[in-house]
Amino acid sequence: MKLETSFAIALPAWCVELAAELPEHLPEPIDRMRLAIELSRRNVEAGSGGPFGAVVARIDDGLLLGIGVNRVEPGHCSSAHAEIVALSLAQARLASWNLGEAGAVELASSCEPCAMCLGAIPWSGLRRVLCGASKSDAEQAGFDEGARDPAWADALARRGIELHTAIERKAARSVLLDYRDRGARIYNP
C-alpha cells in the first residue's frame, strides 16, 4: 500500500453554504463569537464533527478571513480541530502562513483551546483570542484539553497575544452538554 503524499480538510456542505451567505465583515467581536458558537451547534446537528466552531477575523473592521468546525472524525485527521481549520483556511485565503499580513487578527473559538491549538496560536500570527466555553465545561462534556502549560494565559500575554475568556459562555457550554446528552462519540484514543 502506497504512502499518501497530500491531505485535504474541507468544511462540510452546510458550512460551505453558510460561508457563501456570510457578510464580508462582522464588526462586533461578540458577533464573531456568536458565529463560532452557531458553527459548533450546527456541526452537532448535522453530525459533521465535534461540537466546536471557530472564526478568524481582522480586529479593527471585522473582515472575515476564515471559519472552521471540528472535522476530526469525517476528515480522518486528529489535528482537524475547529481552531486549526479556521486558522488554516484564513492562511489559505491570504496565501501566507502569517495572519499578521492582514493586520491585527483575532480568533474567536467556541471553547478554550486544547494543548495543541494553544500551541498553534503563536505560530499563526494572531494578536487576540476570544474563548466561549471553559476547560471545565469541555471536561464536563467528556472532552480532554490535554497537557497545557499551566501558565498558558501568561505565555500568550508574553507573546503580545490578548486573551478574553467566557464570552457567551452559557450558549457555548450548552452546545457541549447537548453533544454529550446525545451520546455522541468522544474521540480521544
Kindly list the catalytic residues.
Answer: 83
**What is the C-alpha end-to-end distance of the chain, expressed in Å?**
24
The β-bridge partners of 133 are: 111
**Is residue 123 close enough to count as binding a copy of itself by CB under 8 A?**
yes
Assess contact for 33 and 132: CB atoms under 8 A. Answer: yes
Stretch of 27-35, 130-138, 148-156, 171-179 lying at the interface with a copy of itself (CB under 8 A): 148-156
Q: How far is the CB of 170 from a copy of itself (least distance, A)?
A: 27
Residue 61 exposed, middle or buried by CB count within 10 Å (0-12, 13-18, 19+):
exposed
Size of the site for a copy of itself (CB under 8 A): 67
Task: Tell how far CA 173 is from the center of its chain.
Answer: 14
The β-bridge partners of 124 are: none
**Is residue 184 close enough to count as binding a copy of itself by CB under 8 A?**
no
**Is residue 119 close enough to count as binding a copy of itself by CB under 8 A?**
yes
Identify the three-state secondary structure at position 64: strand
Q: How far is the CB of 133 from a copy of itself (least distance, A)?
A: 18
Helix axis angle for 29-46 and 13-21, nearest 10°, is 150
| Residue 13 dihedral angles phi and psi, to the nearest 5° | -55, -45
**Is residue 142 close enough to count as binding a copy of itself by CB under 8 A?**
no
Among positions 26, 53, 111, 152, the unique one binding a copy of itself when judged by CB under 8 A: 152
Q: How far is the CB of 8 from a copy of itself (least distance, A)?
A: 4
Stretch of 37-45, 142-150, 162-170, 175-183 lying at the interface with a copy of itself (CB under 8 A): 142-150
Q: How far is the CB of 149 from a copy of itself (least distance, A)?
A: 4
Please report which helix (H) or strand (E) contains residue 131, including its range: strand 128-133
Residues that bind a copy of itself (CB under 8 A): 1-11, 15-16, 19-20, 22, 24, 64-67, 72-73, 75-80, 84, 87-100, 114-120, 122-125, 144, 146-152, 155, 187-189
